Amino acid sequence: MAVAKTNPLPVGLYTMDLPASSAPRLAAWTKGNRGKVVVRKVVANERDSSCAVVFEVIGRPGAFPFGAVGYPTIATSSTGSLDDPFAWISESASQLEGLALLFVLWQLMKR
């Protein structure tokens, strides 16, 4: 899989494996780009406090914090959200869920 190094990230689907220390920076970037970036999935690994994140860029976001979080991998599958006229409902819920999971992971690391 190809690594994304273009800043800002082009429209597309991305995956990242993050150490817990990088989760707050990614959460801040996604929050600052609400409406342009949708967090699709967050899977926390309790053993080493890392997480896997899937996010989608749907508009032109601000600069990605490569230095703070690393480089995302370009995913090859599509979410198909453009075909669904009610996709904004699931996208909004998904983004809130993803941000909440990143926040919880960050809080767990502060203990």
- Looking at the structure of the chain, the number of domains it has is 1
pLDDT of 57 over the 90 cut: yes
The parent domain of residue 90 ranges over: 12-110
Asked if residue 46 belongs to a domain, the reply is yes
Q: How many residues does the chain have?
A: 111
CA distances from 91 to 3, 40, 87, 109, 111 (A): 24, 8, 6, 27, 31
Domain presence at residue 102: yes
Q: Shortest CA distance to 7 belongs to which of 68, 48, 50?
A: 68
From CA 73, how far away is CA 5, in angstroms rounded?
Answer: 9
CB atoms within 10 A of CB 61: 21
* pTM summary value: 0.69
Which pLDDT score is estimated for 110?
Answer: 64
Q: How confident is the model at residue 79 (pLDDT cuts 50, 70, 90)?
A: very low
Q: In this predicted structure, what is the pLDDT of residue 42?
A: 87
Asked whether the predicted pLDDT for residue 72 surpasses 80, the reply is yes
* Residue 7 in domain: no
